[in-house]
Structure 1
Amino acid sequence: MSQTHEVVVGRLSTLDRFLPLWIGAAMAVGLLWGRLVPGTGEALSAVEVDGISLPIAVGLLVMMYPVLAKVRYDRLDTVVGDRRLLVGSLVLNWLIGPALMFTLAWLMLPDLPEYRTGLIVVGLARCIAMVIIWNDLACGDREAAAVLVAINSIFQVVMFAVMGWFYLSVLPGWLGLETTGIESSPWEIAKSVLIFLGIPLAAGFLTRRFGERFKGRTWYEEKLLPKLGPWALYGLLFTIVVLFALQGDQITSHPWDVVRIAAPLLVYFAVMWGAGYLYGAVARLGYARTTTMAFTAAGNNFELAIAVAIGTWGVTSGQALAGVVGPLIEVPVLVGLVYVSLALRGRGPFRDDERPLEDEQVRASS
Structure 2
Amino acid sequence: MTTTDRAPESSVAARLSTLDRYLPAWIGAAMVGGLLLGRLVPGLGDALAAVEIDGVSLPIAIGLLVMMYPVLAKVRYDRLDTVTSDHRMLGSSLVLNWIVGPALMFALAWTFLPDLPEYRTGLIIVGLARCIAMVIIWNDLACGDREAAAVLVALNSIFQVIAFAALGWFYLSVLPGWLGLEQSALDVSPWEIARSVLIFLGIPLLAGYLSRRLGEKRWGRASYERSFLPRVGPWALYGLLFTIVILFALQGEQITGRPMDVARIALPLLVYFALMWGVSYVLGRALSMSYERTTTLAFTAAGNNFELAIAVAIATFGVTSGQALAGVVGPLIEVPVLVGLVYVSLWLRRRFPHAVDTPADTSR
The TM tier, using the shorter chain, reads over 0.9
Q: Give runs of aligned pairs for residues 159-198 of structure 1, distance below 5 A.
A: 159-198=163-202
Which of structure 1's runs of 4+ aligned residues deviate more than 6 A? none
Following superposition, the deviation at residue 307 of structure 1 comes to 0.8
Aligned residues: 359
Contact 1:288–1:355 under 8 Å retained in 2: no
Letter paired with 1:28: V
Query: Residue deviations 1:296-320, cap 9 Å, x none?
Result: 0000011111111011100100000
What is the SS of the residue equivalent to 1:191? helix
CA contact (8 A) 2:80 2:151 kept: yes
Which residue of 251, 260, 265 maps to 2:264? 260
Task: Please report how far the alpha carbon of residue 50 of structure 1 lies from its aligned counterpart in structure 2 after TM superposition.
Answer: 4.6
Partner residue in 2 for 1:49: 53
Match of 2:155 in 1: 151
Q: Confirm or deny: 8 A CA contact 1:117 1:168 kept in the other structure.
A: yes
Partner of 1:353: 354
Aligned 1:306-345 pairs, distance under 5 A: 306-345=310-349
**CA distance in structure 1 between the partners assigned to 2:53 and 2:338 by the alignment:** 29
Q: Give the TM-score normalised by structure 1.
A: 0.96
CA deviations over 1:105-140 (Å, ceiling 9, x no partner): 000000000000000000000000000000000000
Measure the CA separation in 1 of the matches of 2:350 and 2:175. 42
Q: Give the one of 57, 68, 74 matched to 2:72.
A: 68
Cα displacement string for residues 279-303 of structure 1 (whole angstroms, at most 9, x for unaligned residues): 1000011100000000000000111
**Deviation of residue 358 (structure 1)?**
5.3
Q: Secondary structure at the match of 2:80?
A: helix
Output the CA distance in 2 between the equivalents of 1:324 and 1:184: 19
The residue that corresponds to 2:210 in the other structure is: 206
Is the CA contact (8 Å cut-off) linking 2:7 and 2:354 kept in structure 1?
no
Within 5 A, what are the aligned runs for 1:273-292? 273-292=277-296
Name the counterpart of 1:125: 129
Residue pairs, 1:86-105, within 5 angstroms: 86-105=90-109
Question: How big is the shift at 1:355?
Answer: 5.6
CA shift digits 1:164-193 (9 cap, x unpaired): 000000000000000011000111100110
* Cα displacement (A) at 1:3: 6.9
Assess if the C-alpha contact under 8 Å between 1:4 and 1:357 holds in 2: no
The structural deviation recorded for 1:13 is: 1.3
Distance 1:304 1:282 in 2: 32
Q: Which residue of 2 aligns with 1:236?
A: 240
Q: Compare 223-232 and 31-40 and name the one that shifted more.
A: 31-40
- Output one character per residue of 1:253-298: Cα deviation in whole Å (capped at 9) or x when no partner: 1000000000000000000000110110000111000000000000
* CA–CA distance in structure 1, aligned partners of residues 356 and 191 of structure 2: 38
Q: CA deviation at 1:49?
A: 3.4
Q: Deviations over 1:210-245 (max 9, x none)?
A: 000110001000000000100000000000001111
CA contact (8 A) 2:284 2:294 kept: yes
Kindly state the Cα deviation for residue 47 of structure 1 after the two structures are TM-superposed. 2.2
CA–CA separation in structure 1 for the residues paired with 2:358 and 2:219: 23
